[in-house]
Amino acid sequence: MLSRRLLLSLALLLPLPALAELPSAAPLFAAAAVDADNKPVALETLRGKPLVINFWARWCGPCRKEIPDLVEMHARYKGKGLVIVGLAVEDADSREAVRDFAKAYEVDYRVLLAGVGKGVELMKALGNDKAGLPFTVVIDRHGKMTVKKLGAMSKAEMEAAIKQIL
């Protein structure tokens, strides 16, 4: 029978989910999307900025719920350099509907379309194995992912994550 001290020592060697390393943000910076005018945007251009990348879709209820908080955080922290990008997991043929949706929700941060296939692939590469929405990643100025969250973020979670990278 193992001693209690040995068992505790072995337990400390086990990986803890809370301490697990977050995935690399490199796939994000290697990807491209299109804007509402169908112009290509290399996501590499976002490197070096504190980022909140929110994957969403018009049909997603929890996505709709967190948009006002994203708008509020953008207004509050854009002066400190924060960049928020809403990355719609919708195909380019939906760009007018996405533009209208963003206008109706008074979205004042950048909205890009990733496409369904590429959007799902990118989410998985960033650690969202289920490819569920909404999915948010927070990345610091050095390109390091500091937060990844599947599901709607509360305003408090969002603000804490943002303050961590500013």
Residue 9 lies in a domain: no
Q: Please state the rounded mean pLDDT for residues 82-99.
A: 95
Q: What is the pLDDT of residue 19?
A: 47
Which range of residues forms the domain containing residue 49?
Answer: 22-165
The partner residues of 53 in beta bridges, in order of sequence, read 85, 137
**DSSP state, residue 109:** S
Q: What is the pLDDT of residue 16?
A: 44
Distance CA 116, CA 90 (A): 5
State how many domains the chain has. 1
Q: What is the pLDDT of residue 9?
A: 53
Distance CA 136, CA 86 (A): 9
Give the confidence band of 3 by pLDDT, cuts at 50, 70, 90: low
Residue 125 lies in a domain: yes
Residue 7 lies in a domain: no
Distance CA 67, CA 65 (A): 6
Output the domain CATH number for residue 60. Answer: 3.40.30.10
Q: Please state the rounded mean pLDDT for residues 97-104.
A: 96
Q: Are 27 and 148 in contact (CB under 8 A)?
A: no
Residue 37 lies in a domain: yes
Residue 27 lies in a domain: yes
Q: Please list, in sequence order, all residues whose beta carbon lies within 8 angstroms of the beta carbon of residue 115, skipping any fewer than 6 positions away.
A: 33, 89, 90, 91, 92
Q: Which of 20-24, 58-62, 83-87 has the lowest mean pLDDT?
A: 20-24
Q: Please state the rounded mean pLDDT for residues 42-68.
A: 98
Residue 86 lies in a domain: yes
Give the confidence band of 87 by pLDDT, cuts at 50, 70, 90: very high
Residue 148 lies in a domain: yes
Residue 4 lies in a domain: no
Distance CA 84, CA 103 (A): 16
Residue 71 predicted with pLDDT over 90: yes
Q: What is the pLDDT of residue 20?
A: 62
